[in-house]
Amino acid sequence: MVDDSIRKLAIAIANTICVLDIERIVIGGGITHEKDRFFKPLQAYVDQYAMFAEPYHVPIVRAKYKDEAGLKGCIALAV
């Protein structure tokens, strides 16, 4: 079930990359704690499903502020 979910997310990401010409994908949230179980298969699926005329690699990285992005954003708006 997890692998199927990662594969479906990868298809959506690959489609978005092809349509919008994105240079990097940033993902945050609790799922990012599963670094090797999440990012490696996700990157492999995205590379497999993204269709380009020439080899092209879009890195998928963990969000800088991890799970605290929403909280830090709220604090920045409040100040």
Domain span at residue 73?
2-78
CATH code: domain of residue 73: 3.30.420.40
Contacts of 29 (CB under 8 A, 6+ apart): 63, 67
pLDDT surpasses 70 at 55: no
How does pLDDT run across 15-30, given as a tens digit for each residue? Answer: 998 888 888 898 887 7
Read off the pTM: 0.74
How does pLDDT run across 60-78, given as a tens digit for each residue? Answer: 888 887 667 677 778 888 8
Question: How many domains, in total, are found in the chain?
Answer: 1
Instruction: Enumerate the H helices of the chain as residue ranges.
Output: 2-20, 35-49, 69-78
Residue-level length of the chain = 79
Measure the CA–CA gap between 57 and 47, rounded to whole angstroms: 7
